[in-house]
Chain A
Amino acid sequence: MAASISGYTFSSVCYHSANSNSDHEGFLLGEVRQEETISISDTQISSAELLQVVEVHNHEPCAQLFSFYNYAGLVNEENLNKILKERRKNVIGWYRFRRNTQQQMSFREQIIHKQLTQLLGVPDLVFLLFSFISTANNSTHALEYVLFRPSRRYNQRVTLSIPNLGNTSQQEYKVSSVPNTSLNYAKVIKEHGAEFFDKDGVMKDIRTIFQVYSALQDKVQAVCGEVEQSERVKEKVQQEVNKLKQQIALRKQKNAEEERRILEAQNPEPLPTPEENTEPPETSLLSLVAFNTPSTPERPGPSANPPAYADLLSLQDNSLLPSSSSPTSAALLPRPQAVGSPGHPSPNPMGLGLGLSVGSSPAPSPSTPYLGNGDGSSSDSLDRQAAGQEDEDEDEDEDSSEYENLVSEVAQLPPVTINVLAQGRPASLSPDGDASARGSQT
C-alpha cells in the first residue's frame, strides 16, 4: 500500500493541529485506487502487481475532543454525520495529533478505529498519527507523522509521501495526481478556460503549432516533388547528351571516311580488280550504316558507357521496378504525424506513400516509377525515350557548346532510325544471343 498527501493538505492539517492547545483530531478525505503494474521480463511471461494507493485530498478537523464518541469510546453516529455531512463517503481515514507521546496507537484510538471501520464501511481505514516532540529546553521541536492501517496484523505502518517535499536533488516540480477539489478553482478555470482551450478540450496553442507544422511539412513534400522532377529531367538530358556524343562520334567517323573516299577518288587507282569488291563491303557496310543498317554501328563500342543494370532490367520488364522501395523513399519523405491532430491517418513509410493522397499534401505521385540509378549517371536505356519525349528535351537548355551544333543535326535524323535502333538493341546486348531477362543475376 502506498499513500500520498498533497503538500497543501498536509500543511493545513499541521496548522490546525499545531495551533490547538491540546490534542486534536479530524478526518481524512480522499480516494483509494488500485494500481496494477504488469511487468514483463525475460524470465517470466508477466507478473502483475496490485498496489493500493491512498490519496488524501482534504481533511475535516473536529472542533473539540470527544465530539463523536463518549468516555467509553463508543462512537455516536449522529454526531459523526453532523461533522462529516455529505462528505462521509469520501472518508478514507482519520488523524490524531498529540504532543510528546509515543508513536503508537492508544487504547481509545484503537477502539474508535474499529468502530469507524464498521460504520463508514471502509475496510482499510487508515489512521494518521501526528506526534510533536519537543526537547526539554524547547530548543528543538520535531513533527513526526506515521500512517497506520490497523486492519492488518503486520506491516501496519505505511509510508506517506508528500510530493515535492524533501528531495531537493530533483529540479523539476512534480505534478501529483491529487486533483484540486476546490470549488473556486473549478469555477475560475471554467470561466476563463475558453480563452485557452477549444471545444474539444485541447489547448488552442497546440492546434496552432500543429498547423504551422503541417504547412512546413507540405512545403517539404512539394520541394521533394520538385527535386524529383528536376532529377528526372536532368537524367533525360544526360541521356540526350550521351546520345549526341555518340552521334558526334559517328559523324566524325563518317566524315573521315568520306574524305578518304574522296581522296581516293581523286587519286584514281589502276586496279579495277575484284578486290574493289572486297573493299566496298566495308564501305558499303559503312554506307549501309549511314543510311539503313543501324544495328552494328549502333552497338555500343568501348567508347560508350556500359549499360546500367537498371536499364537492362527495364528492357525486359517494366513492371519489376515499381516494387523497389528505396528509390521511392528518396523521392518522397514519409510524413510523421503529430499527436493530437485529428483527421491524419497513421503514417506508412513504405512505398505506399506514393499511393496515398493524404488530404492536404499535394505530393506529386508520378505514374511511372523512377527508373534511373538515382544518381543521375548516364544510361543508355533508350526505351525510356518514349515517343514524344525526345522532342521535349530539345527545349532543355544545355549550356555545353559542344552540343550546340548537334541540336539541328539531331533533328535531321529520321525518326525511323530510332525505332530501328530500339528494335535492334536486344540482340546486340546479349553476347550469347539470349534476350531473356537477366534480372536475377546480381
Chain B
Amino acid sequence: MSPEVALNRISPELRPLLCSVVRNGRVGLDSTNCLRITDLKTGCTSLTPGPCCDRFKLHIPYAGETLKWDIIFNAQDPELPPDFIFGEDAEFLPEPSELPHLVQWDAEDPECLLQLVKELIQQYHQYQCHRLRESSRLLFEYDSLLEDPDYGRSLEIYAGHKNSWTGEFSARFLLKLPVDFSNIPVYLLKDTALDPGEDVALLFVSFEDAEATQVFPKLYLSPSIEHALGGSSALHIPAFPSGGCLIDYVPQVCQLLTNKVQYVIQGYHKRREYIAAFLSHFGMGVVEYDAEGFTKLTLLLMWKDFCVLVHVDLPLYFPRDQPTLTFQSVYHFTSSGQLYSQVQKSYPYSPRWDGNEMAKRAQPQPKIPNNRQ
C-alpha cells in the first residue's frame, strides 16, 4: 500500500500523526527501509462514513527482520494514545514509565507517534538483549561488542525464537560499521536525490545456533556506496572464522571496507593526475576528457600527416589496471560502418609510475607523432 493511499483512508484527525511516520519515518540503523503501513481497519461501526480507519499494522525493519506491530487508535477519541499489539512477541511488555511520549501523549504533536515508536524500539532492543542471556556464548559476543565504543552504540540485536522442535536458539546482530565515506568523490555517489539518506555500511551477522558454530555474515551497503565501490560483486567479505568471535571479525571487515574506500579515493586522485599529465603533454591535441571522474581522455594526434584519434580509458582500479588505448582512424570505415579502430594494450606501463612518467612513456608508440615535432 503506497503511503498516500494509506493516508487517504486514515481518519482525518489521525492523519498528521501518520504523515510523519510514513513520510519521514526511519527508525533504527537501517534507514534505507522506511516504515510501512498495511491492513488499515476501522474501529467504528460499519455505518460510519469514511474515511475512518484508525487501526493498522506497522512494519518496522529491525536487525534484519521486520517487526509487524498493530497500532490501535480510536477515531472517535483521537486525543487518546494508541494501544499496541506486538505481534508474535507476546512476552514483550515495556514499562510505561520508560515511554515518555506515551505518558505525555500529545495528539497535537505530529511527531508524537514516531517518537513513541522509536522509544518502543529501544525498549524492544533491551528486551532482546535480555533474551540473549539464554546463550552465554552469544551474550559474550554482545558484551564484547558493547564495550568497544566503535560498535557498541549502533547495534541492533534480535534474539530469535527458540525452535521448540530442536531447542535451537538463534540471534541476529546488525552493526553499523564506522567507516568514513565522506571522502568518496561526489561523482561516484550517483542519484543523491533518490537516496538522500546517510551512507551506511551495515554488517548483518546471523547466528543459527547458540554455540556460534553456524555464523553467516552479510554486508549491506547503501546503494550509492555500493555503486561507488564497484557494485555488489566487487565486495566479498571473508567468511566468519569458526571459533572466532565478532570482536575480532568486525574490525577485519571494517578494515577491508576502509581499504576499499581508500583505494577508490586514491584511484580517483591518480586518474586525475594521469589526465592532468596527459593534458600537459598533449595539451593542443586533447579533444575531450572526463573532467568529473577522469575516466576518459580523447586525443587527436598527428603522425606524418596522418591524424589519429586516441581514446584513453582509465579503469576504476586505475593504477593497478592498465588504461586501454584505442586508436581510431578518422578516414576509414570498416565494413560495418564504424570507424576503424585498434586497441592497444601492450605499451610500457607500470602502476608505480606517476602521471608524468606514464605520459612520457606512453609516447614512443608507432604512428603516434609527438605534436611538438
Contact = CB atoms under 8 A, between A and B. Distances in A.
Interface stretch (A97-105, A181-189, A214-222, A277-285): A97-105
Contacts of A99: 41-44
Contacts of B237: none
Interface in A121-179: 134, 138, 141
Given A65-B74, A71-B103, A104 B90 contact: yes
A107 interface: yes
Interface centre among B42, B80, B83, B104 (most CB of A within 10 A): B83
Can you list the 3 inter-chain pairs with the closest CB atoms, starting with the nearest? A100-B41, A72-B96, A22-B76
B30 interface: no
Interface centre among A99, A107, A109, A134 (most CB of B within 10 A): A107
B85 A104 contact: yes
Contacts of B99: 72
Given A23-B74, A104-B90, A110-B93, A71 B105 contact: yes
Q: Which label, helix, strand, loop or mixed, suits the secondary structure of the A interface?
A: loop
Q: Which label, helix, strand, loop or mixed, suits the secondary structure of the B interface?
A: loop
Interface of A: 18, 21-23, 64-66, 71-74, 98-102, 104-111, 134, 138, 141
Given A65-B74, A72-B96, A101-B72, A21 B44 contact: yes
Given A22-B44, A101-B85, A107-B86, 8 more contacts: A22-B74, A71-B80, A100-B55, A104-B90, A106-B70, A107-B85, A109-B83, A111-B93
Interface centre among A105, A106, A109, A134 (most CB of B within 10 A): A106
A165 to B, nearest CB: 24
Contacts of A106: 70, 72, 83-85
Contacts of A65: 74, 77, 80
B145 interface: no
Contact of B43 (A18, A23, A110): A23
B174 interface: no
B334 interface: no
A141 B74 CA distance: 19
B242 interface: no
Interface in B126-177: none
Interface residues of B, number: 30
A100 B97 contact: no
Interface in B49-104: 55, 70, 72, 74-77, 80-81, 83-86, 90, 93-94, 96-97, 99, 102-104
A100 B43 contact: yes
Contacts of B103: 71-72
Contacts of A18: 45
B85 A21 contact: no
Contacts of B44: 21-22, 99
A71 B76 contact: no
27 contacts: A21-B45, A22-B77, A65-B77, A66-B80, A71-B81, A71-B104, A71-B105, A72-B97, A72-B99, A73-B96, A98-B43, A99-B41, A99-B42, A100-B42, A100-B43, A100-B55, A101-B41, A101-B55, A102-B70, A104-B90, A105-B85, A106-B70, A106-B83, A106-B84, A107-B83, A107-B84, A108-B84
A66 B77 CA distance: 11
Nearest to A134: B46
A74 B103 CA distance: 10
A329 to B, nearest CB: 70
B291 to A, nearest CB: 58
B335 to A, nearest CB: 65
Given A22-B76, A100-B55, A102-B70, A107 B43 contact: no
Contacts of A107: 83-86, 93-94
A64 B86 CA distance: 25
B336 interface: no
A104 B81 CA distance: 19
A148 to B, nearest CB: 11
A134 B53 CA distance: 13
A65 B94 CA distance: 21
Given A71-B102, A99-B42, A107-B85, A21 B48 contact: yes
B43 A22 contact: yes
A54 to B, nearest CB: 23
Contacts of B45: 18, 21
Contacts of A111: 93, 96
Nearest to A108: B83
Contacts of B94: 107
Nearest to B105: A71
Contacts of B104: 71
B46 A141 contact: yes
Contacts of B85: 101-102, 104-107
A21 B46 CA distance: 9
Contacts of A110: 93
Nearest to B44: A21
Contacts of B97: 72
B63 to A, nearest CB: 20
A99 B44 CA distance: 7
A23 B76 CA distance: 9
Contacts of A141: 46
B45 to A, nearest CB: 6
A109 B45 CA distance: 22
A71 B82 CA distance: 9
Given A100-B42, A101-B85, A107-B86, A21 B96 contact: no
Contacts of A74: 96
A138 B47 CA distance: 9
A138 B96 contact: no
A107 B83 CA distance: 6
A98 B44 CA distance: 9
Nearest to A104: B85
B70 to A, nearest CB: 6
A73 B102 CA distance: 10
Contacts of A109: 83
Interface centre among A72, A138, A141 (most CB of B within 10 A): A72
Contacts of B96: 72-74, 111
B124 to A, nearest CB: 12
Contacts of B70: 101-102, 106
A99 B85 CA distance: 14
Interface in B288-339: none
Contacts of A71: 80-81, 102-105
Contacts of B46: 134, 138, 141
